[in-house]
Amino acid sequence: MSYQNLSEFVARLEAEGELFRIREEVSPILEITEITDRMSKSPGGGKAILFEHVTGSPFPVITNAFGSERRIRLALECQSLDALAETLREILEQRPPRSWAEKLRFLTKAIRWSRFLPRTRRRPNPPCQEVVLKGADADLSQLPILHCWPKDGGRFVTLPVVFTKGLKDGKRNAGMYRMQVYDKQTTGMHWHIHKDGAHHFHEYRNAGKPMEVAVAIGTDPAVTYAATAPMPRGVDEMLLAGFIRGKPVEMVKGVTVDIEVPVEAEFVLEGYVNPDELRVEGPFGDHTGYYSLEDDYPVFHLTALTHRKNPIYSATVVGRPPMEDCYLALATERLFLPMLRTVMPEIRNYWMPWEGVFHNIVIMAIDKTYPHHARKVISGLWGMGQMSFSKAIVVVNHEDSLGKGEALLRSILESVDFKRDITIAEGILDVLDHSAPQPLFGSKIGMDATSRIPREQPRPDRKHGDIPSDGDVLSHLQEADPGFVALRNVYGNESRMPLMLISIVKQAGKNSAFFMERLSNAVSKGVYVIFDADIDLHDDSLTLWKVFNNTDPSRDMRIGETRMIIDATRKGPADGHTREWPEDVVMTQEIKEAVSSKL
């Protein structure tokens, strides 16, 4: 049976041994984040956490509810995400019936699929409206809204399901957009420009009209997930939620807005956004592991706050991966593979490493059938929906290599022809990409790591060669400049293509280009990645995260026949990067110690 509401899901988590209760009083200001971050980064994602006593609010808080492979399967009520994706494929790949027999079979399926459609009902005293607060009584300070990270601009609603309707077509959209609390009755509305919510807002702004908005907090897991899913514009996310649930999402109209919300939601915020009102929003410790910077966003005005009699406030904490959002992204990765295949059937499978924070690295396995097929796939993906934000795309032959990070990386580095298999292009980027010289636009890298077939130029034969010891290489570099301070040879002498990680200290006017030039003159073979001196070169996850997030390919890579140099350091004006560079998201030592004393 599908979950009616969040409480049923919480009960299931507890029955399955996937819930950890904290009965001590905990502050929503930083402390809940620190506890959740520790749990998220424990083996396998730890457990969901229910904070029973939260300072300043009568309502309990749940975090990390989706934060493991097992819990995401429990949330979506499936034995495996791939099995659920196959069921979804049946709908996505449905072709128009051609014969009477096909029409009859299609009619049977259509009747069954119609059970997934959301339904709006009139219900006296629906659960989400058991308590109704309007006007001055609607007060956001009653809620245990989190202040997540030390340098955040304030408290943020982090797991809201935001409902809007198009002005022209009246179609509903449900999306997840963070909301910074300004005061008791106003918040920011963080609509990225490529999101459907922003599209609706632009319609109203162009018409000079305020737009009604309703926000559900604490929905059943299918609804929460559906709000994060990259559905095509105009397709109701509640249809996807109904498909996952196996039954429709029951909706009810708001008490002050003409927008429907899930009947079983824990909390609902109702209000409006004025067409020309913007306010500074941020900073915010984001899922990239960096603070997203301040910018102007629309303002949400609260007209009503409704909730169940005994609600649970649902929140998520994001930061440097792995965290809960990684598992929501994993669900999207698996469920939307069939949709990719309907457009590009040569795609077998794909993998988005967590260190790439979803949009910075995608590895695709394809059925290769003609010369340079991989380049066609790369170009196609860069023009397709949210895949267009991908900064790096690597194409391989064998899907069984996906997820095997170290072995796959080594195989790619040892075989790829740096000059012929790599494409550098320019295009749109995610709004959170901080390494590009300008917002929303920068360079991308595509790499063909597939096996050669007839009519493709053979790759050069790379042979094992003598590789100097780490100490000899570092000494040689330090002769060129003492700013080279540490080195790690990742594969030792066992690889045909050395991978060396190097720490540098930029000072006395020496920028990234200076060190890359010294490296170019000192080494002839291998992949060399430079990092700031405070980076632990032996932390594989950390170094990958820095490479994927701190690199603009056209500026930060120097590629030769047998050598590649990558600059993964922090950039500034001396490096030709005039945009503000965000800080890493880290907790204060004071909060760490305070939490340790409580637990």
Give helix 221-228 / helix 324-335 axis angle, nearest 10°: 80
Helices and strands (H and E) in the chain: how many: 17, 28
CA 511 – CA 504 distance, rounded (Å): 10
How many CB atoms are located within 10 Å of the residue 77 CB? 17
Measured CA distances, 341 to 85, 143, 236, 336, 373 (Å): 12, 43, 21, 9, 15
State the amino acid at position 208 in one-letter form. G
Beta partners for residue 211, in sequence order = 273
Cis peptide before 96 (omega within 30 of 0): no
- Contact by Cβ (8 Å): 317, 351: no
Tell me which residue has tokens 């890359």: 516
- Contact by Cβ (8 Å): 556, 435: yes
240: left (phi over 0), alpha (psi -120 to 50) or beta: alpha
- Contact by Cβ (8 Å): 285, 585: yes
Residues of the chain by 3-state class (helix, strand, coil), percent to 5: 35, 25, 40
- Contact by Cβ (8 Å): 441, 431: no
Q: What is the DSSP letter of 385?
A: G
Beta partners for residue 271, in sequence order = 213, 302
Of 37, 152, 196, 286, catalytic: 286
Is 286 among the residues known to form the active site? yes
Could you tell me which of 371, 321, 380 has the C-alpha nearest to residue 350?
A: 380
CA 354 – CA 431 distance, rounded (Å): 18
* Rounded to 5°, angle at Cα 188 from 31 and 173: 105
Tell me which residue has tokens 């308590």: 131
Cis peptide before 482 (omega within 30 of 0): no
Both structure tokens of 405:
């990070």
Task: Report, as residue numbers or ranges, the catalytic residues.
Answer: 286
